Amino acid sequence: MAAEDRPVLTEDRESDGTLDVGRGLDALDTPTEHRAPWWKRFATSVVPPVVAVVLFIVVWQILWASAIWPEFKLPAPGAVFGEIGTQLVSGQALSIIWTSISRAVLGFLFAVIIGTPLGLLVATVPVVRAAIGPILSGLQSLPSVAWVPAAVLWFGLTDQTIYFVVLMGAVPSIANGLVSGIDQVPPLLPRVGHAMGASRAQSARLIMLPAALPGFLAGLKQGWAFSWRSLMAAELIATSPSLGFGLGAYLNYGQTQSEMEVVIAAIILILVVGIGVELLAFRPAERRILRARGLATGP
Amino acid sequence: MTVTLERPGPTPRTGPPAVEVKGVSKVFGRGDDAVVALDGVDLSVAPGEFVCLLGASGCGKSTLLNVVAGLDQPTTGTVDRSSSRPAVMFQESALLPWLTAGRNVELPLRLAGVGRGARRERARELLELVRLDGQAEKRPHELSGGMRQRVALARALAAATGLGGSGATEVQPGVLLMDEPFGALDAITRDFLQAELLRVWEATGTTILFVTHDVRESVRLAERVVLLSSRPGRVVREWGTGVDTDPEELHGDITTELREVISAHGR
């Protein structure tokens, strides 16, 4: 509204100068992201754990060869990997792993379905938080194995027993993750939403939930870990032909038969599944979510 | 770098005020602990006017802004706004970190139920206005502090003006409320953004109510500077910044008065 009153020359010089400064500031202040070349990332992220595993096996082999402990206490690495190989070739390993994984995934999904609304309720309704918030945090430190005897008495040796133990392990983690995710949303964000006229539902869907996503994902990750270890505990203690033959039962079989290579093979398989799900499902999701927010560090 | 902007005196403006604050008081707490943040504040802002609210800390200028924004209810008094909903800009850009710059600008339009194509086009226009064309796909963490504040300005304009003057509807210039938006920036970026804000204001005709504690900033930006006292916040005096006023002299006058207001609290 004032531009036409100004001498043209002044305006031009002035806006040009301003423009140059602005461009200079943009160029200088814009954060630059350095991404290391793939071989460097490979060398820093893949090589160290592989070296660690190889070293571990070498030490194990040396200890076995020095025959300090009898064979039934410390089997040769070769015998353990032979056992895993046999099970893999016969297809038995896949069936064992599938029995456990399908249970863990199903239990985890149930836990998400129960834990998410529970977390939302605790995070947003003060009375509910005061009433069950502390219990929910307390349940997180209760090992879910403690529920096995009760579950066996309530449900008998059925799948319900196993799912109950998995749920008791995973639901608190998932709900608490969502609660802390929502608690950590900067208060300015919902205020901005309010100032822009967001309704309660819009604010929840477009602002609060995406903002709480990193915390929720951390809760999901922990919930999965708890599902998996609760499942192993339940399968190990509650064994019955009616419950199928999962990794826990396989581990239990090794113990009753006093076959150390089976025991260690089972432990390795449990570990591999746990790490595999973490690496294939949670790590990529986490990286994507954090990188989009500029929170990811490292490769 | 100093950029001097020559402005004509306050142009006579017609129509009802864009914002009219009448006898607004705001009390926080009750009984003995009650703090009177605002006490009988009257303020009228004409459409298209640029007004700075100036005051020391604790003078309730942010409270007044929140009341005008509708984020806070006054204890007594009324606030009339001609535009439906004023847009607010804060000291922090408060961009949603998971959305790109373009999506952030689109957000108020999305909340208002504007279709995807129209709001994308409007976001592109507004980013161009704040000289961020081609940056729509960047995320907030990939932008500098000054660029983030310009995205926030574009978003506030989207909130204040909707789709702008498209088609037969008359242009709705809207009201922009700014709460020390450049307070966290370094001096040279602040200087640049002040010039940019004046350019955008002149280009859009938006009404601006701008809160600051920086006398120089208020003299440079506003057509009218309103000084608030502290605890309780009251309008002490106001100055116009027309062509005949010497900015240095005005700066001196306002600083003297502000010192007076602050010293009154030490006595």
- The domains located in chain B, with CATH, are 1-86+174-267 (3.40.50.300), 93-171 (no CATH)
Q: In DSSP terms, which residues pair with B41 in a beta bridge?
A: B24
A186 CA: distance to closest CA in chain B (Å):
9
Question: What is the per-residue burial (b if ≥16 Cβ within 10 Å, else e) of A194-232?
Answer: bbbbbeeebbbebbbbbbbbbbbbbbbbbbbbbbbbbbb
What residue segments make up the domains of chain A, in order of their start? 98-294
Determine whether the interchain pair A191/B107 forms a contact, defined as Cβ–Cβ distance below 8 Å.
no
> CATH classification of A98-294, choosing from 1.20.120.450, 3.40.50.300, 1.20.140.10, 1.10.3720.10?
1.10.3720.10
Residue among A30, A196, A294 minimizing CB distance to B111: A196
Q: Peptide bond before A134: cis, by omega within 30 degrees of 0?
A: no
Q: Residue B171: is its pLDDT beyond 70?
A: no
Residue among A14, A33, A295 minimizing CB distance to B3: A14
pLDDT value at residue A35: 75
Length of chain A (residues)? 299
pLDDT tens-digit profile of B32-91? 788 888 888 888 888 888 999 988 876 688 888 888 888 888 888 888 887 667 888 988
pLDDT value at residue A9: 37
**φ/ψ (deg, to 5) at B256:** -55, -50
In this structure, are residues A80 and A264 in contact, taking their beta carbons and an 8 Å threshold? yes
Pairs of CB atoms within 8 A across A/B: 108
Determine whether the interchain pair A189/B94 forms a contact, defined as Cβ–Cβ distance below 8 Å.
yes
* Percent of chain B clearing pLDDT 70 (strictly above): 89
pLDDT value at residue B71: 85
Question: Is the CB of B69 inside 8 Å of chain A's CB atoms?
Answer: yes
Question: Is the CB of B133 inside 8 Å of chain A's CB atoms?
Answer: no
Residues of chain A with pLDDT under 50: 1-13, 298-299
In whole angstroms, give the CA distance from residue B251 to residue A279: 62
Q: Where are the beta strands (DSSP E) in B169-229?
A: 175-179, 207-212, 224-228
Burial class (CB in 10 A: 0-12, 13-18, 19+), B158: buried
Which residues have a Cβ under 8 Å from the Cβ of B109 and sit 6 or more positions away? B118, B119, B122, B123, B158, B162, B163
Identify the residue with better confidence: B13 or A287. Answer: A287
A91 CA: distance to closest CA in chain B (Å):
44
pLDDT value at residue B83: 67
Q: Residue B2: is its pLDDT beyond 50?
A: no
Mean pLDDT over all residues of chain B?
A: 83
In whole angstroms, give the CA distance from residue A295 to residue A289: 9
Q: Which residues of B touch A10 (CB under 8 A)?
A: 6
Q: Where are the beta strands (DSSP E) in chain B?
A: 19-28, 35-45, 50-54, 76-81, 87-89, 175-179, 207-212, 224-228, 235-240
pLDDT tens-digit profile of B176-230? 999 988 888 888 888 888 988 998 888 888 889 999 988 888 888 888 889 888 7
Q: Over the Cα atoms of chain B, what is R_g? A: 19
Q: A8-29 and B187-204 helices cross at what angle (nearest 10)?
A: 130
Amino acid at B125: E
Question: Is the CB of A70 inside 8 Å of chain B's CB atoms?
Answer: no
Q: What tokens appear for A96 in the block?
A: 């064992």
